[in-house]
Amino acid sequence: MTFTVGHYLAERLTQIGLKHHFAVAGDYNLILLDQLLEHGGTKQIYSCNELNCSFSAEGYARENGAAAAIITFSVGAISAMNGIGGAYAENLPVILISGAPNTNDYGSGHVLHHTIGTTNYNYQMEMAKQITVAAESIVSAETAPAQIDHVIRTALREKKPAYLEIACNVANLPCARPGPVSSLLSHPIPDQESLNAALKESLSFLEKRNKVVILVGSKLRAAEALEETVALADKLGCAVTVMAASKSFFPETHPGFRGVYWGEVSSPGAQKLVEEADGVITLAPVWNDYSSVGWRNLIQGNNVLEVNPDRVTVNDRTFEGFRLKEFVKALTERAPSKPASLTENYKPVTLPKADPAAPLTNDEMTRQINDLVDEKTTLFAETGDSWFNAARMNLPKGAKVESEMQWGHIGWSVPSIVGNALAAPERRHVVMVGDGSFQLTAQEVAQMVRYELPVIIFLVNNYGYVIEIKIHDGPYNYIQNWDYAGLVQNFNGGVGGEGGGHGLGLKATTGAELAEAIEKAKKNTRGPTLIECKLDREDCTEALVEWGKRVAATNSRKPKVN
Ligand SMILES: C/C(NCc1cnc(C)nc1N)=C(/S)[C@H](O)COP(=O)(O)OP(=O)(O)O
């Protein structure tokens, strides 16, 4: 078999640990898809559309560390760019690979199908450059190895998406074979002088502090320092809180864990603990308008040691030239013991069991889902009140929560969990998704049927966009109701249809019905189970109401008059 450009790409994707890649066919990428199939190092998984394809790749990268999505030029790529924007926002190295026009068409004056009808096809590359850390157009086999390596190496180092477009008549051209993958995985050697200076300044900061608290942020996983953070917490002996977007990034069974810090909607006691501390170590935080509750609760300033993936800021000095992981390890070696913030034992909030016969409530639904979560569960929390339901859950060690609180594209969770489930078949996959979000990407349940993924979907039917209603209500927040449970039968290929799928659709209007549905879901191991939880529209978390008021006030600030 001649080794081709497409085989080179396939070899590199396999070398960096991918076992799958995601694709939607189009005539610009068919020859490339053939090369990937011929190589066989990664299984080709198909999506219903390119938006879902990019989200499935993003979900795969959350578990596997990296992912690849292959789509067709323009009509496919521009859809996929939404999920790539999300991968950028969420610090996930997804390689977006687009088929591209035949090299003979460049500069020919030809108008090509699927394009915007001009003779310049560069617009896609220009768009991709805005949302990736590296972008290359492959029009020759000779330059392909260097371009492919550059894109993959940069994505892995920066933990951000990258972009390749490959001309459709180049994908099967003969190409040199790649060398060791180590050339793609190396990191710069840390600048020891800067690391020592940052350490010295940080130890001086800590020596002068009494009540020290760690606040774990959502870029900590991309910084690959979750274990190092536990070691730091053990050495300091202090309280540890997490931001909502980093829920599960620190073990909640750890003796120092003290809940979620989210300003005025924090776990009980967490706001006081963080805001009254005289020294807060923030690890890879993302401070945006949502995480700071409309800029009210920003933990920065003289009492903060801020440790970011590429920079440490403390005592009004800032240091760079080393990785967060290296700094945290060095700090742990010399950090003093600071147990003063651990005054009382942590009392996690547990929800009371409701009357099984009573109409289902948001609290009872959350309580039962929390009971379902075990050490091998990955729980996806879709944008909406599901964020707040996940934040208030108590997690066993090993449980994972996935959310998309920076990008916040509703519907992300359904395709994303497809990718995540393929990356970790040994784990249980559960998603909480509202009716509004589900309507954007519902068709990806069909891929759960196709690939026999036993995902448990809690479809939270509160009849509209409740988070938006709480922020700012209007007719635009109300949607057509679907028969969500009934939809699954269609994805099975119809009753007795040729689809032959094992999806299951159930409804729950009481606690008892929900408990029964969950037991059925646990037994349905060859396909998804969608449990439509019917809630009253007004039944949402108090945290959402309080947070929504504050965010609404921030959104309605008057323009500054100069
Ligand atoms: C419409 C929108 N956000 C605006 C929006 C619109 N379009 C995209 C792609 N992403 C977005 N976040 C949001 S959060 C809805 O409340 C989601 O509704 P639902 O899934 O039903 O959840 P809740 O009822 O819990 O809010």
Respond yes or no on whether ipTM tops 0.95.
yes
Residue bearing the CA closest to ligand 1, atom 15: 465
Task: Decide if 367 is inside a domain.
Answer: yes
Last residue of a domain, one of 185, 212, 231: 185
> Residue 284 is part of a domain; what is its CATH number?
3.40.50.1220
Q: Which of 52, 290, 388, 410 to mutate to test the pocket of ligand 1 (most atoms within 8 A of CB)?
A: 410
Same domain, 90 and 114: yes
| Residue in the structure block whose two tokens are 């600030």 | 557
How many structural domains is the chain composed of?
3
Q: Are residues 15 and 82 in the same domain?
A: yes
Predicted confidence pLDDT, tens digits, the chain (562 residues) = 899 999 999 999 999 999 999 999 999 999 999 999 999 999 999 999 999 999 999 999 999 999 999 999 999 999 999 999 999 999 999 999 999 999 999 999 999 999 999 999 999 999 999 999 999 999 999 999 999 999 999 999 999 999 999 999 999 999 999 999 999 998 999 999 999 999 999 999 999 999 999 999 999 999 999 999 999 999 999 999 999 999 999 999 999 999 999 999 999 999 999 999 999 999 999 999 999 999 999 999 999 999 999 999 999 999 999 999 999 999 999 999 999 999 878 889 999 999 999 999 999 999 999 999 999 999 999 999 999 999 999 999 999 999 999 999 999 999 999 999 999 999 999 999 999 999 999 999 999 999 999 999 999 999 999 999 988 899 999 999 999 999 999 999 865 456 689 999 999 999 999 999 999 999 999 999 999 999 999 999 999 999 999 999 998 999 998 7
Whether residues 394 and 531 fall in one domain = yes
Contact 418, 451 (CB under 8 A): yes
Domain assignment present for 558: no
- Residue 34 domain-assigned (yes or no): yes
List the alpha helices (DSSP H) in 189-343.
Answer: 192-207, 226-236, 270-275, 324-334
pLDDT for position 561: 85
Let me know whether 331 and 446 are in one domain.
no
Q: Tell me which residue has its CA closest to atom 1 in ligand 1.
A: 465
CA distances from 499 to 452, 486, 488, 507, 526 (A): 12, 15, 12, 22, 13
Residue 315 and residue 444 share a domain: no
The answer as to whether 354 is a domain residue is: no
pLDDT at 344: 77
Residue 289 lies in a domain: yes
Q: Note whether 177 and 301 are same-domain residues.
A: no
**Domain check: are 172 and 202 in the same one?**
no
Place of tokens 């009540």: 211
Look up the domain containing 404 and give its range.
362-548
Q: What is the pLDDT of residue 151?
A: 98
Structural domain ending residue among the three candidates 185, 217, 233: 185
User: Residue 19 corresponds to which amino acid?
Assistant: K
CB 98 within 8 A of CB 53: no
Q: What is the pLDDT of residue 494?
A: 61
Tell me how far apart the alpha carbons of residues 298 and 4 are, in angstroms, rounded to a whole number: 52
Residues 47 and 176 in one domain: yes
Task: Determine the distance separating the centroid of ligand 1 and the alpha carbon of 208, expressed in angstroms.
Answer: 45
Domain end call among 147, 163, 185: 185
Same structural domain for residues 418 and 402? yes
Q: How far is the CA of 250 from the centre of ligand 1 (A)?
A: 28
Confidence (pLDDT) at 533: 98
Task: Find out whether 385 is annotated in a ligand binding site.
Answer: no
Would you state the pLDDT for residue 498?
Answer: 60
Q: Is 419 annotated as a binding residue?
A: no
- What separation in Å is there between the alpha carbon of 552 and the centre of ligand 1? 15
Residue 461 lies in a domain: yes
For residue 496, give both structure tokens: 């007795």
Rounded Cα distance between 403 and 221, Å, is: 13
Kindly state whether residues 427 and 535 are assigned to the same domain.
Answer: yes
**Structure-token pair, residue 442:** 């519902």
Q: What angle do CA 146, 183, 125 make, to 5 degrees?
A: 35
Distance, C-alpha 233 to centroid of its chain: 25
- Do the Cβ atoms of 162 and 132 come closer than 8 Å? yes
pTM of the predicted model over 0.90:
yes
User: What's the chain's Rg over C-alpha atoms?
Assistant: 25
Q: What is the pLDDT of residue 499?
A: 60
Is the same domain home to 114 and 215? Answer: no
Residue list, ligand 1 pocket, CB within 6 Å: 383-385, 408-410, 434-437, 462, 465-468
560, part of any domain: no
Is position 561 within any domain? no
123-130 vs 77-89: helix crossing angle, rounded to 10: 20
CATH code of the domain containing 74:
3.40.50.970
Which atom of ligand 1 is nearest to 469's Cα?
A: 16
Same domain, residue pair 37 and 156: yes
